[in-house]
Chain A
């Protein structure tokens, strides 16, 4: 795809992404921190729904040979360590870097610190990468493994099973805790905040 057309597509996807993050309140720091304290299940509901949808779509597209898969190389130590650091950082910052950008767009000017920190982290990682390479290669160079490669189940079986399981999970979460209860009086994910607008319809 031409570079300019690709950039326009990416921009458009980003706009929709930001729109939906705002509408679902997932960009709210209160929702993210509340999720990590298991006091608010909005993020889990959004994310599990997204993953289930994406998984079912990729399964269909893969079967129709309309996409190429790009699974990342499996390097267990760095995957686990990196994931832990990311999760901790996301809680401390009240959102992922992309969520922080959505927060800024929604009006939370104070969220500028997160993308600035992310940029600093990117600079730091690039500078540290040569020294970290022994750690990154601790369990070998890594191969792009999928669950299909390490099992006897084909992609459609895995995709369907996990997709259905995730949808069942979100249905259970909804029965346990309806989503309208989690948005907060002012739809900011903070159940203790004072309402400044009428409750959501």
Chain B
């Protein structure tokens, strides 16, 4: 259940570890996990706004995520072959262009949403709810509603 070379871990073990990651962030860096802030910082940097240390903390977090995923997949011998089979089923086509449009448009919507709400799934749904923030409870519930509605409209999978 804990071995690094296993392909799958229990979602409960994974969830507990994810939740524990908030501890070093808050205790040692006086910040929370908020990946969308990293994207907003990167976008601001491209527009000439340097951002502050807190923004770049989130960027460093983002840099680590694919590295960790690669390490995990390599250790378990489960590096994926793109694309996931679900896309053909969901989009009704194997077209790479359709897949790219879905990803890109989803990304745009997510950062517009995160900008409006002041946080993303981790920023509100994990870090904010853990602090009992009213804004985060509202935003997190709205994310769930939006996701479920879109899930029903997305097509058969």
- A: residues with CB less than 8 A from B are 1, 3, 6-30, 33-39, 42, 45-55, 57-58, 61, 66-76, 78-94, 96-98, 100-129, 132, 135-136, 142, 144-150, 155, 158-159, 162, 170, 174, 179, 183, 186-190, 192-194, 197, 200-201
Contacts and interface: CB of A to CB of B under 8 A. Distances in A.
A132 B84 contact: no
B144 A102 contact: no
A165 to B, nearest CB: 12
Contacts of B66: 18, 101-102, 104-105
Contact residues on B (Cβ < 8 Å of other chain), bracket: 35 or more
B55 to A, nearest CB: 11
Contacts of A98: 35, 62, 65, 120-122
A144 B70 contact: no
A201 B6 contact: yes
A54 to B, nearest CB: 4
Central interface residue in A18, A135, A155, A189, by most chain B CB within 10 Å = A18
Given A129-B115, A136-B116, A146-B134, A179 B68 contact: no
13 contacts: A11-B67, A30-B84, A33-B157, A58-B22, A76-B138, A83-B139, A85-B112, A91-B106, A92-B105, A113-B99, A120-B111, A121-B115, A155-B132
A119 B39 contact: yes
A11 B101 CA distance: 30
B43 A123 contact: yes
A136 B135 CA distance: 13
Nearest to B148: A36
Contact of A107 (B82, B102, B104, B149): B82
Interface in B1-55: 6-33, 35-36, 39-40, 42-44, 46-47, 49, 53
Given A74-B133, A104-B66, A188-B85, A96 B35 contact: yes
B130 to A, nearest CB: 4
Contacts of A3: 53, 56
B115 A82 contact: yes
Contact of A17 (B18, B96, B118, B119): B18
B131 to A, nearest CB: 5
A51 B26 contact: no
Given A83-B139, A105-B73, A121-B111, A114 B132 contact: no
A126 to B, nearest CB: 6
Contact of B117 (A39, A45, A82): A82
Given A3-B53, A18-B69, A85 B110 contact: yes
Central interface residue in A91, A117, A127, A135, by most chain B CB within 10 Å = A91
Contact of B149 (A53, A88, A105, A179): A88
A159 B132 contact: yes
B116 to A, nearest CB: 3
